Amino acid sequence: MERGERILEAAGELLVAWGYRRVTIDEIARRARVGKGTVYLHWKTKDALFLAVVLRSKLRSHRSQLARMRTDPLAVLPSRMMSGAYLDFLADPVLRALYHDDADILGRFTDIAKKELAELSAYSNEVVRHYLEVLRAHGLVRADMTVEQQQYALLATASGFFLSEALLHDRAPQSAEERSTVLARTVRGALETSADPDPGTGPAAARTREAAAAAAPDIIPAFERLAELSEREMHRQLRE
């Protein structure tokens, strides 16, 4: 594993274990088996390093999302998309820490991230909007609300599930699969036109599959551009 990668890995592990404030550049360098100065050969500041750590996790999640969409067009459905994103989120300690314990783990880092990632976040907004429009055009998403309202519904609902571990403590179902399934059903009921097309073999399920396959070529590139922007943003944190 190359130096930069080792540093990101070490920073991520320490972030999750100790929280932003408690982690020192010294400690990261030690764990990555490099000199302290070497960290600064790669990243301008501590903030930039941790921003890169977070972007790396987000990027992984995006890529895994894209892989699912390329394998199975049904993965473009909002329900699939969200349950996939939710499972990725649970599997990545950095992303989980991000939502789980804002104050203790992240300290003031959230503010910095919000500011630095404003552009990315705005673009992500547009991608989601475009995504919903395409799905509506293909009859996969209902037209009983405005796109803006559906986007709000999607974001708010997802936030609730993502935060549910922290908010609901033990009142949530134990298994991640079960929670992701409930999320999928909630999103499907809120936005989509079809019943669950996965085990379906009838003509309706076939139609959904076709429509998803037709929509995918419009949707995948948009998310690819989002992933690219994430990656560019991640590299922009590097020195020069």
Partner DNA sequence: TCCGTGACCAGATTCGAAATCTGGTCACGA
Partner DNA sequence: TCGTGACCAGATTTCGAATCTGGTCACGGA
Judged by CB under 7 A, the stretch of 44-52, 129-137, 143-151, 209-217 that binds DNA is 44-52
Q: Which of 46, 62, 80, 179 binds DNA (CB under 7 A)?
A: 46
What does the DSSP assignment read for 135-177? HHHTTSB--SS-HHHHHHHHHHHHHHHHTHHHHHTTSS-S-HH
User: What is residue 22's three-state secondary structure?
Assistant: coil
Q: Which of 5, 17, 18, 36 binds DNA (CB under 7 A)?
A: 36
Q: Which of 17, 18, 35, 101 binds DNA (CB under 7 A)?
A: 35
Residues 6+ apart with CB under 8 A from 239: 40, 41, 42, 43, 44
How buried is residue 194: exposed, middle or buried, by Cβ count under 10 Å (0-12/13-18/19+)? buried
13 touches DNA by CB under 7 A: no
168 touches a copy of itself by CB under 8 A: yes
Q: Rounded to a whole number, what is the distance in angstroms from the first to the last CA of the chain?
A: 22
Comparing CB distances to a copy of itself, the nearer of 25 and 190 is 190
Summarize as ranges the residues that interact with DNA (CB under 7 A): 3, 21, 23-26, 34-38, 40-41, 44-47
Q: Residues interacting with a copy of itself, by CB under 8 A?
A: 103, 125, 144-145, 148-149, 152-153, 155-161, 163-164, 167-168, 171-173, 178-179, 181-183, 185-186, 188-191
